[in-house]
Structure formats: C-alpha cells, structure tokens
A and B are shown apart, each in its own frame.
Chain A
C-alpha cells in the first residue's frame, strides 16, 4: 500500500527565509504527487502537482517542488517566505489505476515570524 511521510509536524522560518517542507512516498510504482495548502477554517487548495512530465514543478504563490525518483521524495520549496504563507501543507499521492483517490501525509504546519 502506498504511504506518504511528511518530516516535521511544524516548521518555523523567518519572513524572507527559504521554505523547505519535506515529503517522501512509499510506492512500488511511480505515483502522481500533489501539494495542497490549508488555511485555518478552510478546505484544501492545490499548490502544484507532478504527473510524470517535468520533474521540477512550479506552482502558485512562488512554490515549486522537485520529484526525485531515486530518493522517493517530492519536497516543497519557496525561496522567500511571506507572512501569508503561514498555513498547513499536505503532500498527497495518487495512482493511474483504480479510482485514483488521494492518500495524504499528516501535514506540516508552516509558521512564519517577522
């Protein structure tokens, strides 16, 4: 069965610093990978997705992620954090077979200090 591991339940950065949120997946076949963001009292919003095209994926709000098959990773980065980036971030996987639902990690809360 597939699974997603997000290292660090909380990550703290200063405004303007690099953001790095880690995601590793466990799978016997290459998955599709997603990053979602959840602001307080809201649903999930898609930041970006990897669907077997370019391994470096650019998303909204300046975020990007790189798929590394050899490391089974899909880490999310942003060069310079803004206060508005403070939220919870979820990494998720899906597969082309079956009914293609999402399997989520436990999430990482990003805290941004001035």
Chain B
C-alpha cells in the first residue's frame, strides 16, 4: 500500500449538485495529480498541483477545480454535476513537479455516482 489516502470511499450525488473529494499525500510529496477513471477506461489527467499552485491541466471544464494545502493535502471540487461525471477519481502524489521519471503513488480512489 502507498501512503496516499482518499475520502470518502464512495459517494452518491444527484445531477446539478456539487462535490468535494479529498486526498492526503504520501509524506514528503509536494506534487499531487488528480485523474478521472470512467468505467472500462484508463485514468485521464484532470490537473496537477505543485506547492499549492496548479501547474498543469487536462481537457476538463472549469467546473472541475482544486486546491492544495500547505501540508500538501488536496481537494478536487466538481460543480454542477453531470451524469458523465460518474467515475473513480484517483489522486496521485510524488516528490517533484517536473521530472517525468518520478513515480506517482496512487490512492485507492473515490467512487462517485451521479444520479
């Protein structure tokens, strides 16, 4: 197991609502990335935070937003939920902001269901 934790484990929301997912990074890691994994698909990059600043974003609309705190924990917020937002949301942490060789350590994920 990695030292990355996520909460909650499962979540059910209705269309139009807002949701906040939380991630606690592995000790010593200052970079966190969020990924969306739809059923039967590989994870897709949402955004990345390095030392509390967003320094990369995938092809996701602005209603997906995030925060990283001084202790390097992180939140993913999704506004105006849509049915297609139903997915497993994965958080991954690592030690630096720019090297492609760094290993990303993934948490167990939060399963979001939008009805």
Contact = CB atoms under 8 A, between A and B. Distances in A.
Interface of A: 4, 9, 31-32, 36, 41-46, 49, 51, 90, 92, 94-107
B42 A43 contact: no
B107 A43 contact: yes
Contacts of A102: 33, 35, 43, 45, 92, 104
B100 A94 contact: yes
Contacts, number: 74
19 contacts: A4-B42, A42-B108, A43-B108, A44-B90, A46-B105, A90-B43, A94-B101, A97-B100, A98-B98, A99-B48, A100-B99, A100-B100, A101-B45, A101-B48, A102-B33, A102-B45, A103-B45, A104-B35, A107-B42
Contact of B2 (A43, A98, A99, A105): A43
A101 B106 contact: no
B42 A104 contact: yes
Interface of B: 2, 4, 33, 35, 40-45, 48, 50, 55-56, 58, 90, 92, 97-109
A106 B90 contact: no
Given A43-B109, A90-B42, A99-B98, A49 B103 contact: yes
B103 A44 contact: no
A36 B41 CA distance: 14
Contacts of A101: 33, 45, 48, 56, 58
A45 B92 CA distance: 11
Nearest to A103: B45
A43 B90 contact: yes
A49 B40 CA distance: 23
B112 to A, nearest CB: 14
The list of the 5 closest CB pairs from A to B, nearest first, reads A99-B56, A104-B42, A43-B106, A100-B100, A94-B100
Given A41-B108, A104-B43, 9 more contacts: A94-B100, A94-B101, A99-B55, A101-B48, A101-B56, A102-B35, A102-B104, A106-B40, A107-B40
B41 A51 contact: no
Contacts of B100: 31-32, 51, 94-97, 100
